[in-house]
Structure 1
Amino acid sequence: MHNSTWQKSSYSGSNASCVEVRTAEGAIELRESDEGDVIVHTTRGKFADLLQGAKAGEFDHHATTA
């Protein structure tokens, strides 16, 4: 079903579990790196809106620091 490899953020570090993303048949899929199952399948437009909100800091209150 997919036409690209999974990608994770360089901010996650080399051994950290993270959320990975790939393009799959024109859509976007997300998964947990340590789980392997696709957990979100969405459109490119909806994903672009999410990224724009994240870049604007709209979700910062959900983040925690160790």
Structure 2
Amino acid sequence: MPKVIWQKSSHSAANNECVEVRAGAGVVEVRESDDPVTILCTTQAAFADLLVSIKAGELDDRV
């Protein structure tokens, strides 16, 4: 993947405990800021579906 800057959520804590995301070339990569070596790769469509589910509260009971 070309060098793309990782983005943090605006809801991230100041202590660097957050999820980071970057997208490019049809792929979305997600990682935990305190474990930057482990990266989850998915399609843009699947990531968009995940965001819709999160915003709708469909995953709230899985925490």
Task: State the TM-score, normalizing by the size of structure 1.
Answer: 0.80
Residue by residue over 1:41-62, the C-alpha shift from the partner in whole angstroms, topping out at 9 and shown as x without a partner, is 0000000000000000011123
Paired residues, what number?
Answer: 63
Amino acid at match of 2:56: A
Who is 1:44 aligned against?
44
CA RMSD of aligned residues (A): 1.5
Query: 2: CA distance between counterparts of 1:38 and 1:26?
Result: 19
Moved over 6 A (4+): none
Using the aligned pairs only, state the percent identity: 51
Residue by residue over 1:5-26, the C-alpha shift from the partner in whole angstroms, topping out at 9 and shown as x without a partner, is 1011111122231111001322
Q: Which sections of structure 2, spanning at least 5 residues, go unmatched?
A: none
Amino acid at match of 1:59: L
Task: State the TM-score, normalizing by the size of structure 2.
Answer: 0.83
Q: Is the 8 A contact 2:17 2:33 kept in 1?
A: yes
Q: Which sections of structure 1, spanning at least 5 residues, go unmatched?
A: none
